Amino acid sequence: QKEVEQDPGPLSVPEGAIVSLNCTYSNSAFQYFMWYRQYSRKGPELLMYTYSSGNKEDGRFTAQVDKSSKYISLFIRDSQPSDSATYLCAMSDDGNKLVFGAGTILRVKS
């Protein structure tokens, strides 16, 4: 069993939809939770970062962490075609070495 599980998709939604992306994990020592976005043939870039449990909002993006359920989510409101990318969750216990999920491919249709 992988430490971090993420549905690979692809997830296809119409423009303006609310998107929900999720990851589950098994290592209860994880304290740092991140979402990276990767456009085709590019390197990943950090989108959101949360320490421990709770919610964090940044514009159209909201990250949620539920440590009791070992479950994290990323919500994208008013999705745009420019949001089409692969979204990778990543986690860490020490804040240095990251464990990534497999990534979810998101396609937003105009």
In the complex, the smallest distance separating the C-beta of residue 56 from other proteins, rounded to whole angstroms, is 13
State the Cα–Cα distance between residues 51 and 30, nearest whole angstrom. Answer: 9
Instruction: Pick the closer one to other proteins by CB: 47 or 108.
Output: 47
DSSP state of 3: S
In the complex, the smallest distance separating the C-beta of residue 110 from other proteins, rounded to whole angstroms, is 27
Instruction: Pick the closer one to other proteins by CB: 51 or 71.
Output: 51
DSSP state of 82: G
- Spacing of C-alpha 42 from chain mean position: 17
Q: Do 47 and 61 touch, CB atoms closer than 8 A?
A: yes
Instruction: Pick the closer one to other proteins by CB: 5 or 73.
Output: 5
In the complex, the smallest distance separating the C-beta of residue 101 from other proteins, rounded to whole angstroms, is 5
Q: What's the token pair of residue 42? A: 């590019």
Residue whose C-alpha is closest to residue 63's, from 1, 20, 6:
20
Residues at the site binding other proteins, with contacts judged by CB under 8 A: 4, 6, 8, 32, 34, 41-46, 49, 88, 90, 92, 94-103
In the complex, the smallest distance separating the C-beta of residue 80 from other proteins, rounded to whole angstroms, is 23
